[in-house]
Structure 1
Amino acid sequence: MDDLQMYAKEESPVNEMKGFTKNFQKRSKEKKSEDQEILDLLAHVKDEKVIFGTKVTFKSFKKNIVKKVFLSSNCETRVANLVKHYAKIVGCEVVELKINSDDIAQRLAKPFLISMVCVIKGGEK
């Protein structure tokens, strides 16, 4: 009987993973802004005005059809610096997400890693 009471009071690891813990913490403003950036990315993906990948993004910069670029947190620094440089020239916005490429791929339901998502003007591909 004592064993049952002990297990009832403890939080199991399974419940912690599912988020069923007794300790509730309010989300910070940083998390809320991060969520807003991800929702913005998902909205653009829903409109089918995005392309994935570094090479295609650089080609789009040359064609001047880039509207916004989303970078993952683990994107190579050399590539990220090049994207920022081209974005200044073209005049588009660069958003650095706080999630890595694996999480971006998971949120977009893609079977490959995504380090860069490019939103293009007018839905041209």
Structure 2
Amino acid sequence: MIDISRELQVALSTGKVILGYRESIKAVMDGSAKLVILASNAPVEVANNVQYYAKITNIPIYVFQGSSWDLGAAVRKPFKISTIAIIDPGESNILALASQRGG
């Protein structure tokens, strides 16, 4: 089982990670994202847009089983985060989440 918080921390420090919906959707649309992590309580419009563009560009989505506050806490930020795009996983094993659908 993957420790998502730990793998996110490793990806943040050794790779390239984009936090937030607007920048994440740009990364999905230009194909640079390798994985999108979506908070389970992301607003419907945000979730629908991410799912639509990710499907077109064939980028996997992992639904984080926690709120946007929990996702923010997982990356040690004191605010809500609905969407995270992994551009470069660095030394993390975060892309293994691509084969899972939330958990």
Same fold (TM over 0.5): yes
Partner of 1:76: 43
Percent identical among aligned pairs is 33
Structure 2: tracts of 5 or more residues without a match = 91-103
| Counterpart check, 1:60 vs 2:27 | yes
| Counterpart check, 1:90 vs 2:57 | yes
Q: 1:60 Cα shift? A: 1.5
**CA RMSD between the two structures:** 2.1
Residues in 1 aligned to 2:70 and 2:16: alpha-carbon distance in whole angstroms:
20
- 1:66·1:119 contact (CA, 8 Å) conserved in 2? yes
- 1:41·1:70 contact (CA, 8 Å) conserved in 2? no
1:24-56 deviations in Å (ceiling 9; x for gaps): xxxxxxxxx5xx261443332232310011111
Residues in 2 aligned to 1:121 and 1:89: alpha-carbon distance in whole angstroms:
20
The match for 1:48 among 15, 30, 34 is 15
Structure 1: tracts of 5 or more residues without a match = 1-32
Structure 2 length normalisation: TM-score? 0.73
Partner of 1:119: 86
More strand by share: 2
Amino acid at match of 1:114: I
Amino acid at match of 1:120: I
The alpha-carbon distance between structure 1 residues 122 and 96, as it changes in their structure 2 partners (threshold 3 A), is closer
Partner of 1:105: 72
Q: 1:121 Cα shift? A: 4.6
Structure 1 length normalisation: TM-score? 0.61
Structure with higher Rg: it is 1
Q: 1:99 Cα shift? A: 0.9
Q: 1:92 Cα shift? A: 1.0
Q: Report the more deviating stretch, 88-97 or 60-69.
A: 60-69
Higher-RCO chain (CA-CA 8 Å, sequence separation at least 6): 2
